[in-house]
A and B are shown apart, each in its own frame.
Chain A
């Protein structure tokens, strides 16, 4: 499809401001001005609307396709949440208003949203305080790692290491590394969860924290989690909970009760805010009381008279991790979603997420071996290794699914499972959809034997076939160089 720049016609316009009603003209010296206008598109509004509408139709999305992408929790994003974030009193509100004198009185509604969302997340996770500031999951991880560093520094301890299981998402080691820690990987055991003996081996006084998802990336709940937390606490380390998989356990068990000291959540996973094709998200961080003094500046507090204000005077705070108060437009959607679900509804969410995953697993396990022969939580990992031996990779299966109208599972992750296919159906999907997906997966397993070439060529029903990624990396064409314009 043509680029918008290729549709540009010199002189065509899609927008005018109209007559400028002020008599003044700013006289800016030549030396400060750009020589030529930036070569942005010259199109009509209709050209723009057709172009971007056509682009949207080249996407798979939750609204159009089943999207069982493991560890991403691609649940339905209720439509009213979009209305909520666009209410004038939220969307048009300048973020620096509360920093004016008495300005807090102009923002009581939004401060209440931030405060109450934090309190509700405390209840859901069993933590004591939350900051709503982190702007995505990985940003929450970095914030958490910085809080951990501040906690140990404050106690006069210099700790250098963070332990992370080999099944962890790549952001965990990257975030710990950026916070200044050395990353120590620990292997999973034959049940697919962190091995207590391997952990004991790695634990010493230098360990600042252990970062875990629970259930883990394989969709498995570690029954020894409390024992692990006790061991880590014995060396004065902290337990960090990556909330990527919280959708499995709401109303059943709380990270705070398992011994975790710091958690981050992904509001764009568990709390139904849309993923946006790669953001915006929100990654609020919760802590136990012992870490609360270090939370980022500022903190929303509720005064005794029932009003809300922003507290800036926090001498032990790690400081500014975000410019303002977090991705408010995302947070307010999560707030409305939690209110809609209620406490019982959130338990229903997790119950059905786990039921859906186990149902799909029960139907697929004869056709694709599970990485671990156990019941799963909200997701599970299959291995495409037996098909690989017949020349069909997990990637081929993924591309075959695209031709059948399903977004593929997460493939090749976690890296500890060969030809991994990681499936997370979420609670919002119906049995009919799950059955249709399972049928397609079974058909693909048969096709892998009967007609492997058909799969090597998939997908064929998409606007483009498999793309040459090596060529993309080699030529690094990341910016269109053509002049565009029809008549040039």
Chain B
């Protein structure tokens, strides 16, 4: 089934109008010796057959595990209205809104999304989206280099290790001087920051809550950065902003993060949503699409893609970024989520996550031989020290029906006994109880 509309009869009429005998004649520019034989792929199948196959494949995955696994990607509840609106073909089948009069729906929705991100982060300007939280952090680092004209980045090891790997990968040809502030379970180490921060430093990059779930108030770190003319870049978990001090209140210059928690399913790693917000005076160095408000000749308000002279289709190799297609539909999901959940609902979701995590922490702490790091307050995720290898324990927990958490030894050598446990509003008291009983059983039976 190839979704072609024309009939053989119509194809004959069209060939006659073109003035050729056959479709083959239309490919005459391709030299004979370069042509390929038939593709060695299975024959086409009907929708019904493919659907059956896809059902079978989908069932060969353990999506049923009760999840205490987060590490940057979270199992939140998505109100049905989000997907109902996302499924409108008028939203998911257009291209990037280059023709504003024919795209006011997408453009206004992105403007509303940008506004929601600004209000959530406490900053002045947001873009229309980047690919994910990791590429957003990379783009923020590049932006800081452009703004300051400097070449050194201080990178807190509490930043998601996957994102740190991405930063190193992207900049491997660019001779940027990275200094990693060593990891602790708790908060950013001020003395180390003080030691390395200097007038060569473009930015300090932190995450809040950090990868271990610890909450920090980076206001003093931001001041230290600003005192040497460096910028502060922060990656945040947007649901936590229902409760926690916003990057803007902390004084951060560029906020980024993974927007998956705002109404997007986990989908085995994507599509996700990189968000970015910044101070107004940095907007012309921001990467990506930006929607701005304006009006038509009759004075009616409308929206367009704006500040396009930053972008690749105008500036080519001098653009602020190469990004073109971004994650527009995911940004739409986020703004619909933030609208439906709303001002009070987001606070309720965040508060519930924190309370349930606190309950889980108490239940887990009660397991003999297990302790929970409490060097810093946490939001909905925390590191648990086990009397056994965390990867082994997590493996055994899957057999009891749980995705127990993320074994920290995978990215932090020496932390092989630590398990990172996340609790969202979706986990019930009963599930948390069963989880801690199962863990006790795995450890002591």
On chain A, the residues within 8 Å of B245 by CB distance are 31-35
On chain B, the residues within 8 Å of A363 by CB distance are 17
B108 within 8 A of A: yes
Query: 8 nearest interchain CB pairs?
Result: A324-B269, A342-B44, A63-B89, A89-B58, A109-B60, A276-B329, A278-B328, A280-B271
Q: Is the CB of B341 within 8 A of A90?
A: no
On chain A, the residues within 8 Å of B200 by CB distance are none
B219–chain A nearest beta-carbon distance, Å: 9
Q: Is the CB of B326 within 8 A of A478?
A: no
B223 within 8 A of A: no
A sample of 9 cross-chain residue pairs with beta-carbon separation below 8 angstroms, ordered by A number, consists of A4-B335, A89-B59, A92-B75, A100-B407, A107-B62, A179-B173, A278-B328, A345-B44, A467-B294
Q: In chain B, what residue has the closest Cβ to A358?
A: B18
Q: Is the CB of A278 within 8 A of B96?
A: yes
A209 within 8 A of B: no
A429 within 8 A of B: yes
Provided the pairs A17-B348, A93-B266, A177-B317 are in contact, do residues A171 and B103 lie with their beta carbons within 8 angstroms?
A: no
A441–chain B nearest beta-carbon distance, Å: 15
On chain A, the residues within 8 Å of B266 by CB distance are 91-95
Per-residue interface assignment for chain B, residues 332 to 352, with 1 indicating a CB less than 8 Å from any chain A CB and 0 otherwise: 100110111111111111011
A413 within 8 A of B: yes
Q: Is the CB of B23 within 8 A of A478?
A: no
B71 within 8 A of A: yes
Q: Is the CB of B34 within 8 A of A226?
A: yes
On chain B, the residues within 8 Å of A61 by CB distance are 89-94
A315 to B300, CA, bound (A): 58
Provided the pairs A17-B352, A100-B398, A251-B39 are in contact, do residues A473 and B85 lie with their beta carbons within 8 angstroms?
A: no
Q: Is the CB of B172 within 8 A of A318?
A: yes
Q: Is the CB of B54 within 8 A of A108?
A: no
On chain A, the residues within 8 Å of B270 by CB distance are 95, 135, 280, 322, 324-330
Q: Beyond A110-B268, A279-B271, A323-B163, list 8 extra A-B contacts (CB 8 Å).
A: A25-B355, A95-B267, A97-B403, A135-B131, A135-B270, A223-B30, A340-B47, A343-B43
On chain B, the residues within 8 Å of A433 by CB distance are 5
A250 to B30, CA, bound (A): 12
Q: In chain B, what residue has the closest Cβ to A461?
A: B101
Q: Is the CB of A17 within 8 A of B345?
A: yes
Per-residue interface assignment for chain B, residues 81 to 104, with 1 indicating a CB less than 8 Å from any chain A CB and 0 otherwise: 101110111111111111111111
Provided the pairs A14-B340, A14-B345, A61-B94 are in contact, do residues A34 and B293 lie with their beta carbons within 8 angstroms?
A: no
From B4, B103, B315, B432, contact of A349 by CB (8 A): B4
A28 to B240, CA, bound (A): 12
A163 within 8 A of B: no
B406 within 8 A of A: yes
Provided the pairs A276-B329, A323-B134, A345-B44 are in contact, do residues A252 and B36 lie with their beta carbons within 8 angstroms?
A: yes
On chain A, the residues within 8 Å of B440 by CB distance are none
A265 to B110, CA, bound (A): 27
Q: Is the CB of A22 within 8 A of B432?
A: yes
A213–chain B nearest beta-carbon distance, Å: 14
**Residues 385 to 436 of chain A near chain B (Cβ within 8 Å):** 398-399, 402, 407-408, 410, 413, 427-431, 433
List the one stretch of A38-46, A284-292, A442-450 in contact with chain B. Answer: A38-46
Q: Is the CB of B323 within 8 A of A74?
A: no
B217 within 8 A of A: yes
A58 to B100, CA, bound (A): 10
A347–chain B nearest beta-carbon distance, Å: 7
Q: In chain B, what residue has the closest Cβ to A362?
A: B18
On chain A, the residues within 8 Å of B6 by CB distance are 352, 355-356, 430-431
List the one stretch of B145-153, B191-199, B224-232, B306-314 in contact with chain A. Answer: B306-314
List the one stretch of A195-203, A232-240, A267-275 in contact with chain B. Answer: A267-275
A44–chain B nearest beta-carbon distance, Å: 9
Q: Is the CB of A113 within 8 A of B57?
A: yes
**Residues 88 to 131 of chain B near chain A (Cβ within 8 Å):** 88-106, 108-109, 111-112, 114-116, 118-120, 122, 124-126, 128-129, 131
Provided the pairs A106-B62, A359-B18 are in contact, do residues A15 and B119 lie with their beta carbons within 8 angstroms?
A: no
Per-residue interface assignment for chain B, residues 62 to 85, with 1 indicating a CB less than 8 Å from any chain A CB and 0 otherwise: 110101010111010101010111
Q: Is the CB of B268 within 8 A of A67?
A: no
On chain B, the residues within 8 Å of A272 by CB distance are 3
On chain B, the residues within 8 Å of A275 by CB distance are 92-96, 325
Provided the pairs A170-B319, A221-B29, A352-B6 are in contact, do residues A342 and B343 lie with their beta carbons within 8 angstroms?
A: no
A479 to B286, CA, bound (A): 14
Taking residues whose C-beta sits less than 8 angstroms from the other chain, chain B's interface range is: 35 or more
On chain A, the residues within 8 Å of B251 by CB distance are none
Provided the pairs A40-B346, A100-B395, A257-B36 are in contact, do residues A108 and B60 lie with their beta carbons within 8 angstroms?
A: yes
A337–chain B nearest beta-carbon distance, Å: 9
On chain A, the residues within 8 Å of B271 by CB distance are 135, 279-280, 327, 329-330
From B41, B162, B303, B395, contact of A338 by CB (8 A): B41
Q: Is the CB of B71 within 8 A of A96?
A: yes
- How many residue pairs bridge A and B at CB < 8 Å? 708
On chain A, the residues within 8 Å of B84 by CB distance are 49
Taking residues whose C-beta sits less than 8 angstroms from the other chain, chain A's interface range is: 35 or more
Q: Is the CB of B289 within 8 A of A56?
A: no
Q: In chain A, what residue has the closest Cβ to B117?
A: A479
A297 to B243, CA, bound (A): 35
Q: In chain B, what residue has the closest Cβ to A12?
A: B342
Per-residue interface assignment for chain A, residues 1 to 30, with 1 indicating a CB less than 8 Å from any chain B CB and 0 otherwise: 101110000001111110011111111110
**Residues 50 to 73 of chain A near chain B (Cβ within 8 Å):** 51-53, 55-65, 67, 69, 72
**Residues 457 to 475 of chain A near chain B (Cβ within 8 Å):** 459, 462-469, 471-473, 475
Q: Is the CB of A343 within 8 A of B41?
A: yes
On chain B, the residues within 8 Å of A45 by CB distance are 79, 81, 340
B394–chain A nearest beta-carbon distance, Å: 5
Q: Is the CB of A60 within 8 A of B103?
A: yes
Q: Is the CB of A478 within 8 A of B283?
A: yes
Q: Is the CB of A427 within 8 A of B3?
A: yes
On chain A, the residues within 8 Å of B28 by CB distance are 375
B328–chain A nearest beta-carbon distance, Å: 3
On chain A, the residues within 8 Å of B38 by CB distance are 251, 343-344, 347
Q: In chain B, what residue has the closest Cβ to A280?
A: B271
Q: Is the CB of A56 within 8 A of B90?
A: yes
A258 within 8 A of B: yes
A174 within 8 A of B: yes
On chain A, the residues within 8 Å of B17 by CB distance are 359, 362-363
A301 within 8 A of B: no
A112 to B58, CA, bound (A): 10
B96–chain A nearest beta-carbon distance, Å: 4
A146 within 8 A of B: yes
Q: Is the CB of B327 within 8 A of A279?
A: yes
Q: Is the CB of A252 within 8 A of B27?
A: yes
Q: Is the CB of A60 within 8 A of B94?
A: yes
A17–chain B nearest beta-carbon distance, Å: 5
Q: In chain B, what residue has the closest Cβ to A251?
A: B39
A367 within 8 A of B: no
B51 within 8 A of A: yes
Q: Is the CB of B111 within 8 A of A478?
A: yes
Provided the pairs A336-B54, A344-B44 are in contact, do residues A88 and B322 lie with their beta carbons within 8 angstroms?
A: no
Q: Is the CB of A375 within 8 A of B34?
A: no
Q: In chain A, what residue has the closest Cβ to B389?
A: A101
Q: Is the CB of A340 within 8 A of B295?
A: no
On chain B, the residues within 8 Å of A347 by CB distance are 38-39
Q: Is the CB of A136 within 8 A of B325?
A: yes
B244 within 8 A of A: yes
On chain B, the residues within 8 Å of A206 by CB distance are none
B61 within 8 A of A: yes
On chain A, the residues within 8 Å of B329 by CB distance are 274, 276-280
On chain B, the residues within 8 Å of A322 by CB distance are 131-132, 134-135, 166, 269-270
B334–chain A nearest beta-carbon distance, Å: 11
Q: Is the CB of B119 within 8 A of A32?
A: no
A466–chain B nearest beta-carbon distance, Å: 6
